[in-house]
Structure 1
Amino acid sequence: MKIALRLTVLTALLLLPLQSTFAASFNCAKAKTWAEKTICNTKQLSNLDELLDASYKKALASTSAKSALKAAQTDWLVMERDTCEDVDCLKSVYTSRIAVLNEMIADAADSTTSSSTQTAAGWYKATATPNLVVRSKPDVTGTKLGNVPTGGKLKVLATTKQTDFIGGRNGTWVKVEWQGKEAYAFDAFLEKLSAQQQSSNNTQPPASSTGKTLEGVITSYECGDNCYLTITDKQGDAHSGLCTAPLCDSWNEIAEMPANYQNKKVKVGISIGKQYDAAGNVMGEMDAFETITLLK
């Protein structure tokens, strides 16, 4: 009788459906929630859980905001994963979370690469269009000291620790020599010159003032390799010159003068400035309007 009973129990046990437990990032023996139990019993979910755990550990190692990431991960477990009621939901939230963590890892790697790459001292040419702005400090809030035209040459003295994201590019602010003084430029728009190109380097020296002035109205503004302003005097004669006054800086950056300056009455101070071609070579000299005063 006992033997028959044992055989019956054994047969019943053998007929029960087998339930496999797969590896996961947590101890399946201690699984409590429906989500945890389902992950342990579903191979694909178990694999996703291990992938997520690996990405989470890498993201945690790559960030200085570890407490914030830990809190965000806990929120994700409670507010997203554990609220799922079917396998498809779990697959979706796991896939999305892994993508977020991997993006954090990639961003951290890009930041490290950018900050570890230094611009060596030497001569460079500007690649910004139409001009590369030179500033008084390594930040976009620094005072504009001038513009280097596309292809213009600039001497880099040292790299700063100030990184930035400008014009869709990551880069570092570098200390440069500008008109005999120290200034700063953004290296994402600088290209190293070859030894041959460096032998013919040209910086933009300060314009030589003539002491002359001119009164008239602004009748045109245009930019090519250089930016020019045309002033028409009382006699109707047109006078063109390089637009080098501080007022021109913002215009030259975008190669456009605000429409409200057209036909404005002005007084300009005249100096002798140099014209540069696209490669930064001096083409010649001509009048430059170094100051512009608006008149009533």
Structure 2
Amino acid sequence: MTSFDTERQTAERLADIAASDPTDGAVLAAAVAAVRLAGRTMLDAFSERTRTPDDLGSLVRAIHANDDASLAIARRLLERSLPTAGWVDDELEGGVLPPGDWWIFDAVEGNVNHVHGLSEWGISATLVRDGAPHLTVVYEPVADRLYTAVRGSGVAALNGEPLRPSTKTELKAAIVTTGQARPGESAETYRRIGASVTAMLNSALVVRMTVPATFQLGLVAGGQTDAFWQHSDVRSGLAAGALLVSEAGGSVTDLQGRPWSFASNDFLASAPGIQREALAVLGEVA
């Protein structure tokens, strides 16, 4: 028996335990096993020597092949662990989910990076309960970084160690980040992204723009960076990171300062000490 077979059997056993007694701890353990197994599969298919496909059609086919390979591993395990939960099929969708339990699974978050031989990609699974992220697992296979959080616990962790946001109180000392949520956004959304980047360039220490969003939100939760904003409602890019930041003790709102939810049109996660100033700067973008 290979080590992969052993890991798969463990994941199946944990899924069955969760199905028979769906406590947060059991479901989280099952999700960790499923996400790790999918991540191992995608790591086997990854090479930093990979170069960009020749055309858009080849790129899209490679992305879909990655999604299919990851889904084939993780979906049945996650559904087995919590048979009553629904499944969000389109990872680029936004908006409110119906009541009950739903899995938001990003089969290869940062898939475009994987296809291009860049290391910033991962697997995420977030259980949404009655409209709010309830527990999440994010795995970055190249760096072997595993983020976890459960709503109401007051703990978000990286490889088992608690995360805390930065204690900065000045935006001029802050590293801030944004990114494009999906291809094909509206011209108005692109205008707002550009205007917000310009506004932050005039106010923050350093402005970064990259994907995937969840990776950037993990850095905010852990205090390596200080804020992330996005003009987007894409659930799969925000659900996991919003829970990580909030449970770590950070601030999560929309760009008007209201509590963020899946009904929000935009998003800001930040260290508490710079939230008000970041909102003021981003609020200037009409």
Q: TM-score, normalised by structure 2?
A: 0.24
Bigger proportion of residues as strand: 1
Q: Choose between structure 1 and 2 for higher RCO, CA contacts under 8 A separated by at least 6 residues.
A: 2
Larger Rg: 1
Bigger proportion of residues as helix: 2
